[in-house]
Structure 1
Amino acid sequence: MGLFSSHNQLKMNPDQWYFPYGQDLQMESGSNASLEMFRDQPLDSLAREICQNSLDAAASREPVKVAFQYFDLPTEQLPNVNQLRDDILPAAQKEWSHEKKTQQMLKRMAETLSQPTIPVLKISDYQTTGLLNKNWQSLIEQAGSSIKKDDSSAGSFGIGKGAPFAVSDLRMVGYNSLAADGHRSICVMKFVSYKLREAKQNITQGTGYFGACGKQPFDTDLPFDKKHPRQEMGTDIYVLGFNHSLLSDWQTQIKRSIVDNFLFSLYKNRLVVEVDGETIDYPAAKMILDDLQKDKRLAKKYRDAFCYLNVLEDPDHCEFSLQGLTDYGVPDGDAILLTSNCSQANNRRVLMTREVGMKIYEQNRISSTLQFSGIFWANGEKINQLLKELENPNHDKWSEKRAADPKKMGEFLRSIRRFISTTIKNQYEQKIEEQVDAFGVSSFLPDDLNAFKGAKAQLKQKGSNRPKVKLEAQPQTSDQSPVRASETELSDDLDEFGTTGVQDGETSGSGYDGGEGGGIGGSNNASFGDQPGNHAPDKGSDQYAKINVKRQLIGNVTYRCIEADYHQGRYNLLINPGQPLDQVRIGINVVGDSGNKDIVHVKAAALADGTPLGTSFNSVYLDQLAKGQWHRIEMILNRNSRLKLEVEVYAHCE
């Protein structure tokens, strides 16, 4: 039997798929914008949207539980599968015979329906309110709307409802919800438009429904899952025809997404997730992140999450209450900032999140020199109301452009950033300056710091035991070139520099002391300085750069840069690594008052015993550094002013 041509006929045949129709409707193809936005990272998007919605519907302060469970459903138990196979799909294939992408989608649906079983991913939440009638109408019958229980709820666009359809080969999702005002269930299909066989002037909408009668929901559980009735408040979502390409590792991808996006929710005991029977709470999240650190590729991918875990795990982490936003109606204390700098893995970023604890984005460009990680939690009612208005549909950015008063809200966001930046700099900048900017302290430091481990240090007169080393600048020849970070040693913090890196210029321009270096950006003709250069460097012949050595940035290194005689550009570097290092490159940068980095040229370097070291542009090269020992390096730089120096250490990696 075909689709129905009258409402009366529909009432006589309730067990049918219903696609609303009418004359002169716009045809909808398989390119559904509300689904396409989730294609790039479908499981990550699914986990984010589902858990966010469940947190929004929390019934109490008890943690919300979200369970992901897979099972195979006999194909014949799918709602009126014969109507789909014999009537709806053929009509759509005929209608869209000229549209390749839609044909591919319809072919995949037909192949799925021809199998003996249908893969199903069931997602259930508990300790939630379920879908009240107003929420049900927003979810099932309205496009672009989202009714939440309060202003702290994360969703506001109604776009996230497309995420489950994006992981279904049938574009079919079942909903089953028990709320205080009733029990409701229905199946929804994001299909395509086609002309009805009975009245070809009528065109169907792209969305179809299988309920008790048309769009009217059942008042019981869905027909194909009567064995597991919903007995407590909450909602079940069935992804019918779960995408075959995602089956192999869906559990792993969901778990990693939960840990990456909801770490703070797990920490605050707001959320517990169950993936195929495995419970993911905060202790489990810590174990997952620890395991990810054992794989270099995954450790890099989830490095930020590990940094935020270290903030939470640091017993001495600092907690600051938001201040100074009362002009926007935000009371003091409406948000908190957690910070830490004790870890070996600081990412110099702050995780930004609202009341439910889901990651929105990461604030960077706070400082290029301070070591820290942080979490900003906007948990107050007023600040959540304002930030919700500024949040984009993907829930990964706050933008003043979305506000009714962009100028005022732009200053509001800048005030939040200033609070974060000022707080972090006030907390950590002084400690760094005491360690790095100790002008003249070399007069009071012993040459062999290691000899004083565990013993009482005695003050020595300046120069009494210092080796007689004459450090002279070595002339640079045209066959020397800097090592470029883009070739072997890209740092995760490259965004601190913007898009400009150090590269060879076509010819040398002005150099520091005669023009030894190449240009900035790779295509210009100038480097730093005010004296004419000679010619551009010839790549590949630097005996120290060792350009084929793969190195990675090392975080657990303690160092002190001490001025010896700035008039002559002499500085001493005291460095103590937390692990043994081989094939070491030490990059020296000048840090300005604004936090911007500048390149300095190391003209010569030697160990305290007089052993000369290889140099190239702003780098010093050593064969190795012993773990837990202080090493002294004397340098001549091409500047004759007092400098604030920053050191980055790279070492050989497999």
Structure 2
Amino acid sequence: MAEVGWRFPPLSGGTRQGYTNNDIEVFKGQELMDNLAREICQNSLDAKDDSDVPVKVVFELKKVKTSDYSLFSEYQECLDGCRRYWGDEMDARLSKFLSEADKTISADEISLLVASDYNTKGLDGSYSQKLKSPWEALTSSDGMSVKNEEDSGGSYGIGKNAPFACSSLSMVFYNTYANDGGNAFVGVARLATLMNKEDKPTQRVGKYQVNNDDDEIWTPIYTDTDSSFRDLFRRENEKGTDVIVAGFNQETDWMENVTKAVLKNFFVAISEEKLIVELKDKYEHKIIEKSNISQLFDDYENNGEMVQSTQLYKAFTNPDSHQLLEVINSDDVEVYIKSDNSYKRVVANFRSTGMLVGTYSKRIFQHYAAVVIVRGKELGELLKDTEPPRHNRWDYKLINASEVERRKKARTAIRSIEDQVLELLKSQFESFGTDTIDAAGVGEYLPDTADNSDESVVGDDLLKPKIKLGKIRKARSRSDSTTVEAGKEVGGVKEGDVHNDAVNPTPPPPQPWSPPKPVDPDNTESEQREGVVRQKGTKTMKTPEVKAQRAYPINASEGLYKIIMVPSESYENLYLSCAAVGEDGKSDLLNIESLTCNGYSIAVNGGKAGPISVEADETIVVFAKFSNREKMILKLQLEEVPKG
């Protein structure tokens, strides 16, 4: 007789299985909700139907009464079966999980996070149960990926485990209405080997389904089978898929966290109207779409977690440079570049569907944000095979070593993209020589903000070294003295204008000069003496006020220096020169070979560069190359010359 319920297949002499699952653990950590949102939206985008409307993904937090659905009390028996099997030999990880699961099931209500997509194809294969169908890959397979042959869509490989990492019950349900007519529902739980009702050990993965053990027929729950829990998610007309995370354990700020994850990973898809995301619960309803994505980024302007994503979004929507690259075919890759002194020097790679794959940095002097989008179909199919389960980078080594030519092709493609992007960055922003030296990793931590500039900079805490301070030793100072024997000179008397130059060559100090008394042209009195009359003279050059400034060498042997300053006022016609200060305090004007200000090349005439336009209280970053190839203390000299 067929019944709906949980079934964990018998172990039958197989290998016992613990609770730890690396395929789930890889998605846990600080980026838990980020991983969940990425996996859900990625699979939905890859399953896009043939219509012209965007894919819509709806995340909804629901509560259900535990006592209304028998599947939860049945699951409690499975948890108890885990305890019976492992007994005193249970490890700490399983013990902790079982305690949390008990608390969840004993509560009056259980939280469900439901992720539903629309304008998609659904999951074919629920009726045919073909091994390589999307339905079987998602619900009934481990370690097997299935690629949609038509559009190289989602593979439903290890990434399908991301929802389990968000469940205190390790329980996820799937519901679909697919193009092949399949309308099916099934639950999957990932526990550890347990004892069933017959006190026989089972495998760790069980399913909530229709079980006919007598005839050995096990199927999903179809529409002709009664199931009150399934009816909560029944689809009548709209094709698509629902992923239901039971015992959702990330309720705190869940909507905020999903919003940030969607903005970071899918701003290209949303901006290109390929994706719309809705988030709702009992109290709030939010929509993320093209019409409001700019405002959402503005709302997170002061959120440190979103700084880099905001810079990338601005580069994509308002670039300084937009280029197309050829990799395998023409126009395979689209690149957007924007420069700003506050940017973090980051390149972001995106799939053609508009999903972020990963970020990296190329070290050049200018600060920038670059968005790289794979547009070519052949290139896109190749690079998808180089993505790890978390889809956060390209790695040609992930292609099987036996596929020598395909692996080589992927390596060449990835290198070509990175090399061409680097050349674009170099051509976009002037670079001072190719043989400059930057100690590995140090450049990223050089201060780009002048002291006391009142500018707040959010750090990434990438490095937190532990430094042990020993006892401070004071070196004894040595005092040296030099004895000089004094001498006495006797002066002589000579006629004429003689100042004893031979003995004392120092000439007498000059007499102070006083300007002639101005002549009053209206005064005709005879006692007036010759003088000067006020006339129009040369224009006065204003000395700009700078509230903070700093200069330090980038590569002294090449004459490369970085200068940072914060002007107190705005100037439209500023000229800059630099002098090297010696130990005696004297300064010598330096010859400037080339100079950039905030990424733009500035005209140089000998020791002076300009004109430069600057705004008050904005940090100005200057890179200068001097003829002097040595380490120097720089003195910055500024002049504001009135126009006209």
- TM normalised by structure 2 equals 0.66
SS in 1 for 2:5: coil
Query: Among 72, 84, 99, which residue is 1:94 paired with?
Result: 84
Match of 1:52 in 2: 42
Query: Matches of residues 216-255 of structure 1 in structure 2 within 5 Å?
Result: 216-220=219-223, 223-227=228-232, 229-231=234-236, 232-243=238-249, 246-255=250-259
- Residue matched to 1:290: 298
Does the C-alpha gap of structure 1 residues 174 and 484 become closer, same or farther in structure 2, counting only changes over 3 Å? Answer: closer
CA contact (8 A) 2:164 2:170 kept: yes
Match for residue 603 of structure 2? none
SS of the equivalent of 1:287 reads helix
Distance in 1 (CA, whole Å) between partners of 2:261 and 2:332 is 28
Instruction: Name stretches of at least 5 consecutive residues in structure 2 with no aligned partner.
Output: 126-132, 213-217, 434-444, 466-471, 474-541, 583-587, 599-616, 621-644
Q: Give the match's secondary structure for 1:320.
A: strand
Q: Partners in 2 of 1:599 and 1:163 — Cα distance?
A: 52
Q: 1:261 to 1:587 in 2, by over 3 A?
A: farther
* Contact 2:271/2:293 (8 A) holds in 1: no
Q: Secondary structure at the match of 2:143?
A: coil
Shift of 1:591: 6.3
What amino acid does structure 1 have at the position aligned with 2:296? I
Per-residue Cα deviation, 1:414-433 (whole angstroms, up to 9, x for no partner): 11112112223234439x99
Q: Residues 387 and 395 of structure 2 are in contact (CA less than 8 Å); yes or no, is this contact kept in structure 1? A: yes
Give the superposition deviation at 1:76: 1.9
Paired amino acid for 1:161: K
- Counterpart of 2:305? 301
Shift of 1:637: 6.7
> Does the 8 Å CA contact 1:48/1:257 hold for their aligned counterparts?
yes
Shift of 1:219: 1.3
Structure 2 counterpart of 1:43: 33
Q: Do the aligned partners of 2:101 and 2:168 also contact (CA within 8 Å) in 1?
A: yes
Cα distance in 2, alignment partners of residues 101 and 575 from structure 1: 69
Distance (whole Å) between structure 2 residues aligned to residue 49 and residue 337 of structure 1: 25
Pick closer, same or farther for the CA change 1:637–1:335 going to 2, 3 Å.
Answer: farther
1:75 to 59, 66, 73: 66
Q: 1:385 aligns with which of 381, 397, 405?
A: 381
Corresponding position of 1:122:
114
In the TM superposition, what whole-angstrom CA distance separates every residue of 1:614-649 from its partner, at most 9, and x where no partner exists? xxxx87888x63245647463317898866566799
The aligned residue for residue 445 of structure 1 is none
Q: Which residue of 1 aligns with 2:316?
A: 312
C-alpha distance in structure 1 between counterparts of 2:390 and 2:251, whole Å: 25
- Secondary structure at the counterpart of residue 138 of structure 2: helix
In 2: Cα distance, 1:259 partner to 1:589 partner: 38
Partners of 1:426 and 1:393 in 2: CA distance: 35
Structure 1 Cα separation of the partners of residues 162 and 300 of structure 2: 26
Displacement, 1:335? 1.9
| Alignment-derived partner of residue 63 in structure 1 | 54
Report what 1:401 is aligned to.
397
Aligned equivalents of 2:82, 2:460: Cα separation in 1: 50
Q: Give the Cα separation in 1 of the matches to 2:424 and 2:272.
A: 23
Code of the residue aligned with 2:243 in structure 1: it is I
Counterpart position of 1:7: none
Q: Aligned partners of 2:410 and 2:579: how far apart in 1?
A: 49
Take 2:308 and 2:618, find their aligned partners in 1: how far apart are those partners? 20
Query: 1:346-361 residue pairs with structure 2 within 5 A?
Result: 346-361=343-358
When residues 369 and 486 of structure 1 are mapped into structure 2, their CA distance, relative to the original with a 3 A threshold, is: closer
C-alpha distance 282-79 of structure 1, shift in aligned 2 (>3 A): farther
Distance 2:244 2:146 in 1: 21
Amino acid at match of 1:92: C
Q: Tell me, what secondary structure is at the counterpart of 1:146?
A: coil
- Residue in 1 aligned with 2:639? none
Q: CA deviation at 1:384?
A: 0.8
- Aligned partners of 1:351 and 1:363 also within 8 Å: yes
1:84 match: 75
Q: Does 1:213 align with 2:228?
A: no
Tell me the amino acid that sits aligned with residue 223 of structure 1.
S
Change in CA separation of 1:599 and 1:118 when aligned onto 2, cut-off 3 Å: farther
Instruction: Please state how far the C-alpha of 1:198 moved relative to its aligned partner.
Output: 2.4
Q: Which moved more, 1:372-381 or 1:169-178?
A: 372-381
SS at 1:31 equivalent: coil
CA offset digits 1:393-414 (Å, max 9, x no partner): 2111111222333555333321
**Structure 1: distance between partners of 2:448 and 2:13:** 57
Which residue is equivalent to 1:21? 10
Q: Identity rate of aligned residues, in percent?
A: 25
Please tell me the residue identity of whatever aligns with 2:385. Answer: E
Instruction: Evaluate the alpha carbon distance shift between residue 637 and residue 307 of structure 1 in structure 2; reply closer, same or farther with a 3 A threshold.
Output: farther
Contact in 1 for aligned 2:565/2:619 (Cα 8 Å)? no
Q: Deviations over 1:441-491 (max 9, x none)?
A: xxxxxxxxxxxxxxxxxxxxxxxxxxxxxxxxxxxxxxxxxx985999898
Kindly provide the amino acid, as one letter, of the partner of residue 248 in structure 1: T
Three-state SS of the structure 1 residue aligned to 2:211 is coil
Check whether the contact 1:130–1:235 (CA below 8 A) recurs between aligned residues: yes
CA 1:485–1:420 in 2, change beyond 3 Å: closer, same or farther?
A: closer
In 2, Cα distance between equivalents of 1:627 and 1:581: 10
Shift of 1:15: 2.5
Deviations 1:229-275 (A, max 9, x none): 313100111111111xx212000000000001101111111100001
Which residue of 569, 587, 592 corresponds with 1:626?
569
Structure 2 residue aligned with 1:175: 174
Contact kept, 8 Å, 1:27 with 1:205, in 2: the verdict is: yes
1:190 aligns with 2:190: yes
Q: 2:550 corresponds to which residue?
A: 586
Q: Do the aligned partners of 2:552 and 2:563 also contact (CA within 8 Å) in 1?
A: yes
Distance across 1 between alignment mates of 2:105 and 2:313 = 44
Deviation at 1:115, TM superposition (A): 0.8
Change (3 A) 1:130 1:599: farther
Q: CA 1:637–1:237 in structure 2 vs 1: closer, same or farther (change >3 Å)?
A: farther
Q: Is the contact between residue 400 and residue 409 of structure 1 (CA under 8 Å) also seen in structure 2?
A: yes
Residue aligned with 1:29, SS: coil
Partner SS, residue 212 of structure 1: strand
Conserved? CA contact 1:588–1:645, under 8 Å: no
Closer/same/farther in 2, CA of residues 368 and 23 from structure 1, 3 Å limit: same
**Counterpart AA for 2:23:** S
* SS state at 1:22 partner: coil
Amino acid at match of 1:335: V
Structure 2 CA distance, aligned partners of 1:271 and 1:237?
A: 18
Give the corresponding residue for 1:321.
324
Contact 2:270 2:289 (C-alpha < 8 Å) held by counterparts: yes
SS at match of 1:419: helix
Structure 1's 313 and 637: CA in aligned 2 closer, same or farther, altered over 3 A? farther
Partner residue, 1:260: 264
CA distance in 1, matches of 2:341, 2:287: 29
1:96 counterpart SS class: helix
Q: Is the 8 A contact 1:175 1:185 kept in 2?
A: yes
Give the structure 1 partner of residue 21 of structure 2. Answer: 32
Higher helix share: 1
Distance 1:376 1:575 in 2: 44
Equivalent residue of 1:21, what SS?
Answer: coil
CA distance in structure 2 between the aligned counterparts of 1:412 and 1:621, rounded to whole angstroms: 42
Instruction: Name the residue aligned to 1:636.
Output: 580
Q: Aligned residue for 1:452?
A: none
Contact map agreement 1:322 1:335 (CA 8 A) in 2? yes
Structure 1, unmatched stretches of 5+, are: 1-11, 434-482, 500-505, 508-573, 602-617
Q: Partners of 2:411 and 2:108 in 1: how far apart?
A: 56
> 1:588 deviation in Å?
3.7
Determine if contact 2:175/2:233 at 8 Å carries over to the other structure: no
Query: TM-score, length-normalised on structure 1?
Result: 0.65
Distance 1:57 1:575 in 2: 64
CA contact 2:27–2:390 (8 Å) conserved in 1? no
Alpha carbons of 1:600 and 1:428: their partners in 2 closer, same or farther (altered >3 Å)?
Answer: closer
**Alpha-carbon shift at residue 283 of structure 1 (Å):** 3.2
CA deviation profile, 1:192-216 (whole Å, cap 9, x unmatched): 112345254xx31111111122641
| Cα shift at 1:355 | 1.4
Max radius of gyration: which structure?
2
